[in-house]
Amino acid sequence: MEKLEKKILQKVYFWEAKRTAFDLFLKMILFFSTGLFLMILSQIFFEILKEQKTLDLLNFFNEDFEVAKRYFLDNIFIFFFEVPKFLLLLILLFLVIFSLVILTLFKNYYILKNKIKSFLKFFKKL
């Protein structure tokens, strides 16, 4: 009976270890892939803004305060209309996914750490 309990417990530990490793692996893959896509898309976004010379609109801040205040809304509207919106939405989507993955990793850090410690203790006994 004791061997059967030990065998069942071992199978449960192996199953939990595989599940935890797969979960951690999947979160790391998601973390790195969204981070990579976020970097690539933001680089493309800024290249488009440089080609269109949209960032030159920010030079009006170097002007006199009255001039900057007078044309502030006009420059904001021009900037808004020249920004590639679909690319900006993709960047925001990947940013949300990236931050959600980071939040879940931080939230479950101690749980994962304790699971890994208990798995290592169990497998050292075997």
Taking only the tens place, the pLDDT of each residue in 17-39 is 888 889 889 989 999 999 999 99
- pLDDT tier for residue 72 given thresholds of 50, 70 and 90: confident
Q: Under 8 Å CB-to-CB from 5, ≥6 apart: which residues?
A: none
- pLDDT tier for residue 40 given thresholds of 50, 70 and 90: very high
Is residue 126 over pLDDT 70?
A: no
- pLDDT tier for residue 103 given thresholds of 50, 70 and 90: very high
The whole-number pLDDT of residue 93 equals 93
Q: Which residue has the higher pLDDT, 117 or 59?
A: 117
The whole-number pLDDT of residue 96 equals 94
Q: Give the model confidence (pLDDT) of 46-67 as tens digits.
A: 898 888 887 777 776 676 777 7
pLDDT > 90 fraction of the chain, expressed in percent and rounded:
30
How far is 17 from 9, CA to CA, in rounded Å? Answer: 12
The whole-number pLDDT of residue 37 equals 92
- The stretches of 1-126 forming alpha helices (DSSP H) are 2-52, 65-70, 72-82, 85-107, 109-125
The whole-number pLDDT of residue 39 equals 94
**112: its two tokens:** 């994962």
Give residue limits of the domains in the chain. 2-125
